[in-house]
Structures are given as C-alpha cells and as structure tokens.
C-alpha cells in the first residue's frame, strides 16, 4: 500500500480533471491520500473531496502564508471544524520566514492556535517550516513541555539541528519530491538520519514534481518516484520502504482506516 500523506486536491490546478487525477493515483497503487487545508475559507471544498472518496481524508488549518487573514484565530475555531470523521489532522500550519507573506508575529500567533488545537483534539499537527528553525524549535519544545502532541514535519527541508530537536519530541517526517532533485544533497543527508519508524512520503501536489517529472504538474501517481529515492537514501528495498512508510503513516494518522 502506498499512501500520499500530503496532496492539495482542492487546488485550481486540479479543477478540470480532479477525478482523472484520483483515478491515476489508484492505478499507480496509491491506496490512501490526505488532502490538506490551507485556509479556513477553503475547508468546505477540502472536506467535500474527502467525503466523496472512500480513500481520501483531510485536515483543517491555515498555512503560514495565509496567517495575515486570520488575526486572532482561536483554537476553538479549528476544533469546531475538526469534529468530522474525515478530518484526521490539524494544519498545514507553521512558520515561513523565506517568503514572509504574513507578518512573523502573526504567523507565530496562528501557529500557536494550531498547536493548542492539536493538544486539545489529539489530532496530529502538520507543520510547515522554512528558514525559521530557531523559532520553530523553540515553539514546539515549549508547547510540548506543557502537553505532548503528535506532529509531522511536512516536506522537511530545514536543517539537521531542527530535525534533531523535532525528533526528540517524537516527530514524524515526510519526504517529498525535493529529495529527488540533483541540488538537494543536504536534504538527503538529513533524510538519512531521520527516525526509521517515523518517515512517510508525500507529493505535495500540484507542487514539487519529482525527477523525472520535474516541470510538470505534480500528482499523486508520481509518489513511487519519491518512495524509490527514499529507499535508495536509506538502503531499503522498495518493499521495505513501502511497508515502513505505510505503517508510520497509520501510526501517526490513526483515524485513517487500515482496511
């Protein structure tokens, strides 16, 4: 079983052929998909996809790029959306100091609300982090001291030190198509040291298509290329990589059915 832990099926890039994209994913052996919410105004569209498909689940959250539109966000707002059976995670949320599309203080405030929602609900937190290693590590550690929670460092490309800090909190890590890029040797070095029982895979489609698909719109059917690179980096067979990432995903997102 292949599981794509991060897809953006509500994105405009899939508006014309979403059904065909989902069908191709299934044909490629992708048996589960997690479609991600980037802002609360899109949650109804995200949820509708998950409710229409037996092998797709969803999250609820606000991406750090969108934090500027959610000043004063409270954990209760997220928790109200997270009650449904098909909602299995909180996020995507976090800190992005590369683009800084939202003020950093507001990013931190919105992120804190998501952490609190994850703590209250028991649902895993899907974390986006870019060029914010110190603040990210500090916020995660401080919150974890008050109440532990499950977390996923999604599409992880940050430094080895933050990876160590997150791993010490029991974090899972997801590997994306970036791992296949020629210039991503630093990313592959971090992947080589990730906890072997807490690694999962994702496409982050329609973004970040893996080699040899670079330049195309990404889609879940390309997940096997990412799995193959992970297997190569870790010295696993393809079958072992598939088993390990599947078991790790189901341990993290335990509301997702195994059958």
CATH of the domain at 208: 3.20.20.140
Residue 257 placed within a domain: no
Give the up-direction half-sphere exposure of residue 168: CA atoms within 13 A in the CB hemisphere. Answer: 13
List the Cα angle 242/248/253 in 5-degree steps: 125
Distance CA 181, CA 229 (A): 10
Beta-strand relationship, 30-35 and 2-7? parallel
Residue 27 placed within a domain: yes
Residue 258 placed within a domain: no
Helical axes 133-146 vs 160-168, angle rounded to 10°: 10
Per-residue pLDDT of the chain (259 residues; tens, 9 = 90+): 999 999 999 999 999 999 999 999 999 999 999 999 999 999 999 999 999 999 999 999 999 999 999 999 999 999 999 999 999 999 999 999 999 999 999 999 999 999 999 999 999 999 999 999 999 999 999 999 999 999 999 999 999 999 999 999 999 999 999 999 999 999 999 999 999 999 999 999 999 999 999 999 999 999 999 999 999 999 999 999 999 999 999 999 999 988 7
- Residue 129 phi/psi, 5-degree rounding, is -140, 130
Distance CA 142, CA 66 (A): 24
Q: Is 232 helix (H, G, I), strand (E, B) or coil?
A: helix
Residue 110 placed within a domain: yes
Residues 6+ apart with CB under 8 A from 20: none
Residue 214 placed within a domain: yes
Distance CA 139, CA 124 (A): 16
Residue 170 placed within a domain: yes
User: Does the predicted model carry a pTM greater than 0.75?
Assistant: yes
Give yes or no for a contact between 170 and 143, defined as CB atoms under 8 angstroms apart: no
Distance CA 25, CA 223 (A): 9
How many other CB atoms are found less than 10 A from the CB of residue 93?
Answer: 32
Give yes or no for a contact between 203 and 4, defined as CB atoms under 8 angstroms apart: yes
**Domain range enclosing 95:** 2-252
Distance CA 20, CA 2 (A): 18
Residue 132 placed within a domain: yes
Domain count, the chain: 1
């Amino acid at each position: 079983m292949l599981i794509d832990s991060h897809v953006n099926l509500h994105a405009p890039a899939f508006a014309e052929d979403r059904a065909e994209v989902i069908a191709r994913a299934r044909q490629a052996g992708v048996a589960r998909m997690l479609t991600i919410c980037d802002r609360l105004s899109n949650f109804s569209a995200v949820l509708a996809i998950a409710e229409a498909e037996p092998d797709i689940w969803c999250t609820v959250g606000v991406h750090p790029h969108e934090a500027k539109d959610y000043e004063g966000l409270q954990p209760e707002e997220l928790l109200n959306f997270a009650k449904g059976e098909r909602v299995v995670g909180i996020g995507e949320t976090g800190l992005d100091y590369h683009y800084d599309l939202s003020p950093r203080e507001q990013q931190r405030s919105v992120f804190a609300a998501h952490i609190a929602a994850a703590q209250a609900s028991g649902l895993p937190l899907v974390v986006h982090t870019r060029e914010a290693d110190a603040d990210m590590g500090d916020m995660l550690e401080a919150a974890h001291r008050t109440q532990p929670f499950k977390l996923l460092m999604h599409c992880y490309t940050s430094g080895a030190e933050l990876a160590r800090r997150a791993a010490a909190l029991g974090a899972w890590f997801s590997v994306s198509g970036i791992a296949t890029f020629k210039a991503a040797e630093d990313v592959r070095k971090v992947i080589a040291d990730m906890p072997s029982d807490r690694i999962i895979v994702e496409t982050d489609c329609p973004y970040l298509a893996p080699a040899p698909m670079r330049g195309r719109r990404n889609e879940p059917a390309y997940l096997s290329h990412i799995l193959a690179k992970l297997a190569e980096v870790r010295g696993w067979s393809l079958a072992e990589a598939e088993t390990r990432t599947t078991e790790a995903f189901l341990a993290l997102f335990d509301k997702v059915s195994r059958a």
